[in-house]
Structures are given as C-alpha cells and as structure tokens.
C-alpha cells in the first residue's frame, strides 16, 4: 500500500485557464506527483504525491511556468 501526501501552495500571478494549465503541467512533471488541483480565484495549488515534495522543487516548477510561489 502506498501512502499519499497532500500539500497546498499558493501561486501568485495566475489570471486565466492557460495559467492554470501551465502551472499544472510543470508541477505534474515533478517525481512522485499524482495529481494537481488549482483554484484560480485563490491561487491555491494542492498537490497529491507519493512522497512529500521539497518546496524548492515546487518553486522551481512554478517559476518555470512563469509564476511565483507566495
């Protein structure tokens, strides 16, 4: 049985569906990520993964998409 962990981050600068898609795509490429749920209005990004993610890795993915981790 694999355990899952869920972490929520806040991303700033997202304004549209394309923004959500870009952030989702970049975070989804991180090792162990199983799902990414983005709430555009609040900037909340909930990541479910097979192991805890390092914040620096998430920050790098978000910046690669062109946004900032709050």
Residue 20: CA atoms inside 13 Å, Cβ hemisphere, count? Answer: 14
What's the chain's length in residues?
Answer: 70
Does residue 1 have a pLDDT over 60?
no
Each residue of 6-41: pLDDT tens digit?
A: 999 999 999 999 999 999 999 999 999 999 999 999
What domains lie within the chain, and their CATH numbers? 5-69 (3.30.70.100)
Cβ-contact 38, 12 below 8 angstroms: no
Each residue of 33-67: pLDDT tens digit?
A: 999 999 999 999 999 999 999 999 999 999 999 99
The confidence score (pLDDT) of residue 3 equals 82
The confidence score (pLDDT) of residue 56 equals 96
């Amino acid at each position: 049985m694999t355990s899952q962990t869920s972490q929520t981050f806040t991303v700033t600068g997202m304004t549209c569906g394309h923004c959500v898609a870009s952030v989702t795509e970049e975070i989804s490429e991180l090792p162990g990520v199983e799902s990414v749920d983005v709430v555009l209005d609040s900037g909340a990004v909930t990541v479910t993964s097979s192991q805890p993610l390092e914040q620096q890795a998430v920050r790098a993915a978000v910046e690669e998409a062109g946004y900032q981790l709050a």
